[in-house]
Structure 1
């Protein structure tokens, strides 16, 4: 993650100890908002495939109880 962060900062033209350009400020804003939002959306779509409803949860509990008995 640190390497990706460094790559993105350099890609957007970030320079330490100077006033940041509009491009680097936009890049920082994107790294704090839009990019994480896209990853959260992707994870949410992947998790939609792995729903655990009440019936499935009871089946899991029953299987675990049978293993312990």
Structure 2
């Protein structure tokens, strides 16, 4: 069975966790800086909608899934 675990971490706070693959997404705008999203988490739909509405995020994510797909299927 293949297991895919997704972790987040702060580059300024902790070392990169041990992983087979680490993807740097610091280029994606941070929703924390939006007052209406500040108190929410990435599990909240308004945050997800805002992130995926940013330029190039959706196409980048689809490309990432295309790369990872064969590894986790």
TM-score normalised by L of structure 2: 0.30
TM-score normalised by L of structure 1: 0.31
Q: Which has the higher contact order (CA 8 A, sep 6+)?
A: 2
Larger helix proportion, structure 1 or 2?
1
